[in-house]
Amino acid sequence: MRISVLLPITLPLIIGLTLVGGLASAQSLEQLQQLQQARQQAGNSSPAPNITPIELQGQRTLPASNPGQAQVGQYVSQPRYGQTLPGEATFETVFPLQEPMTNPPFAANVFIGGFESERTSGLNDNYLVAPGDKISIWMWGAVSYSDVVTVDNQGNIFIPNIGPISIANTPAGTVNRTVTSRIKQIYTQDVNVYVNLLTSTPVSVYISGPVLRPGQYAGLASDSALYFLKRAGGVDFRRGSFRNIDILRAGEVIASVDLYQFVKSGTVPNVSFKDGDVILVHPIGHTLVVQNGARNAFTFEFKHEELNGEVLTEFARPTDFINHVSITGVRNNEQFARYLTLDAFRSFNLEAGDLVEYVDDHEPQVYRINIAGSNAGASQIMVNRGTRLLEVLNYVEADPKLSDIDNIFLLRESVAAKQREIIEQSLQRLERSVFTAPISSTGEGSIRVQEAQLVSDFIQRARQIEPLGKVVVSERGEIANILLEAGDTIYIPETTDLIHVGGEVMMPQSVVYNPDARAKDYVAWAGGFTQRADDERIMILRKNGNVEFDTIDDGFWAGGKGRLGIQAGDQIVVLPAIDAKSLQAIKDITQIIYQIAVAANVILD
């Protein structure tokens, strides 16, 4: 640096001395020219002598961990929008991962979501003017004046020829009246005044206690306590109180927040915040858990005097038809349980930690019975508990020419559930037998893998079948007078002259009933058996819902005539045959196929 500064001064001085002293020669002149060229080249590759470190362009930064993220050492004047700096602690690194709560706290949805609380400019009639606020003033008429003034640290604004006007802590709705009255004291006539509060000054509020991100947050004085709590991440569900939140100013409580009252009735304290205010969330109090039977199945926090059934029921709001309540907990270090009517529960004293379940324990006294099939009347009938089938049939409207009353059957939900359970048990046994079978060689293992895949596909399809829950109640024109259950469906078949042939036949179709024909004749009319058919056992689904099987031997029915007759409306189903050599679990699969065929009238292959 010292050379670059002295060089421009030294060369002209040498040239001047040489010319004055008369010592210049051709050789010395040539040397001077070369020296001048060297100086110019040095000037092109060196910084100018008058550049200071302050004027150097560029800045040194460290690479950020994410593109677009703020770099270490770089000032950013924009919000970070949730981005964290390299090495900065996050919520995930400070708190361990917690399992989701089955019954979250009541009013917890106030803080759910990834959005910050929305707010307006912060100006309203109740906002109190604070130092730093800007106010626009217009005067016209005998005096013209317009300006935007700022409230100083003493809470005053200054207007020429008027002087200082104190407006600190003045409600925004009265600023115009306050300033105008002071101006009118000086300019009493022919002066019009308009005053408007333009901006509000942010305040700094501290959030403390069991919240997710305690600390210092900026907001407007008119912002609510909910806004600041939301910015702090909300109340910690497991540690913080939703009902005991204080707003402190200079160590004194100026207001309290009960989020239950906000959710229930919209009540929230109207506080104008100031710098240094503290929102303190206290630890959680006594809690009760409502598990089931209520519209608000949450964890509730109550004061000790509120631990009773009346208060809990008011907040929990049981569903319709609730008449009993189950209470479990601990009393005197021993397990405690009670089962009370809802009326008795209202006066029952609860303890912290109790588990409450509202129960609909009404025994239905009226059933709904469905009528399906060939029915000419109503599709539903309401009956009293204990009603039997024949009593209902007296009220069913049916045309004897179109409805086959002698072959009715029931569809019952409880029977369908039992059939589903039996099929599921069979499928589970099949899975265990296939996936736990021992393997003696590599070749056998490869075969077992393919077999397991086929069986797995079969099981998956079998689990999608929904049983019908048929109950056979008619036989040879006689109808069993059985007791009806809630949700039963009385199915009345239509009178038909067709026989339906399906399953493993060449051309599944419906054939006109022939009283002289046997099952083998109907199969022949459907094109005969396929190569995959089990021609030794044929399933016959009777019109009344009953299922029967007939056998065939060498293409002829046993005894030469067949032992089962076919009636109009019956279904003949040819089941698929499974090669016993191809699958080890052939016995289980065959059993399941028959179970599904009987329960749901569906043939799986």
Residue 332 sits in a domain whose CATH number is 3.10.560
CB of 364 closer than 8 Å to CB of 382: no
Residue-level pLDDT at 8: 40
Decide if pLDDT at 76 tops 60.
Answer: no
Distance of alpha carbon 246 from alpha carbon 277, whole angstroms? 10
Query: Long-range contacts: 547-555, Cβ < 8 Å, 24+?
Result: 547/597, 547/598, 550/519, 552/520, 555/520
For residue 37, the one-letter residue type is Q
What pLDDT is stored for residue 433 in this prediction? 78
Taking 80 as the threshold, does the pLDDT of residue 587 lie above it?
no
Average pLDDT (110-126) is 62
Tokens of 302: 């109550």
Q: So what's the pLDDT on residue 341?
A: 93
Last residue of a domain, one of 199, 215, 241: 199
On whether the pTM is more than 0.75, the answer is no
| 97 lies in some domain | no
Q: Inform me whether the pLDDT recorded for 269 exceeds 60.
A: yes
Report the CATH number that the domain containing residue 165 is assigned in CATH: 3.30.1950.10
* Cα separation of the two ends of the chain: 94
CA 3 from chain centre, in angstroms, equals 73
Please answer whether residues 223 and 217 qualify as being in contact, where contact means their C-beta atoms are separated by less than 8 angstroms. no
Q: Do residues 427 and 346 both lie within one domain? A: no
Res 31: pLDDT? 53
Mean pLDDT of 170-187: 87
334 and 240 in a common domain: no
Buried b vs exposed e over 202-218: b needs ≥16 C-beta within 10 Å? bbebbbbbbbbebeebe
Q: Report yes or no on 575 lying in a domain.
A: yes
488-517 pLDDT, tens digit each: 999 999 999 999 999 889 999 999 999 888
Is-contact 435 459, C-beta < 8 A? no
Q: How confident is the model at residue 585 (pLDDT cuts 50, 70, 90)?
A: low
The verdict on 505 and 578 lying in the same domain is: yes
Q: Are the C-beta atoms of residues 315 and 294 closer than 8 Å to each other?
A: no
Asked if residues 301 and 285 have their Cβ atoms less than 8 Å apart, the reply is: yes
Report, in angstroms and rounded to the nearest whole number, the Rg of the chain calculated over CA atoms.
46
Crossing angle, helix 413-435 and helix 442-462, to 10 degrees? 170
In a domain, 254, yes or no: yes
- The mean pLDDT value for 475-488 works out to 89
Residues 6+ apart with CB under 8 A from 254: 247, 248, 271
Angle between helices 586-600 and 413-435 (to 10 degrees): 170
Q: Which of 48, 64, 85 is the last residue of a domain?
A: 48
* pLDDT tens readout for residues 313-326: 999 999 988 999 99
| Same domain (yes/no): 265, 209 | yes
* Arithmetic mean of pLDDT, 350-357: 92
209 band by pLDDT with thresholds 50, 70 and 90: very high
Residue 447 predicted with pLDDT over 80: no
The pLDDT of 231-245, averaged and rounded, is 90
pLDDT number for residue 278: 96
Residue 429 in this model has a pLDDT that exceeds 70: yes
Classify residue 222: in a domain, yes or no. Answer: yes
Indicate the number of domains in the chain: 6
In a domain, 55, yes or no: no
Answer yes or no: is pLDDT of 62 > 70.
Answer: no
Same domain assignment for residues 376 and 422: yes
**Is 353 inside any structural domain?**
yes
Residue 470 placed within a domain: no
Q: Using one digit for the tens of pLDDT, what is the confidence trace for 31-52?
A: 545 555 655 554 444 443 343 3
Say what the pLDDT of residue 349 is.
Answer: 92
Q: So what's the pLDDT on residue 456?
A: 84
In tens, the pLDDT along 20-31 reads 344 344 444 455
CB 292 within 8 A of CB 103: no
Structure-model confidence comparison of residues 369 and 199, the more confident one:
369
Residue 207 placed within a domain: yes
Residue 154 has pLDDT above 50, yes or no: yes
Q: Are residues 206 and 154 in the same domain?
A: no
| Per-residue pLDDT reduced to its tens digit, 517-531 | 888 888 899 999 998
Give the domain range for residue 236.
Answer: 202-283
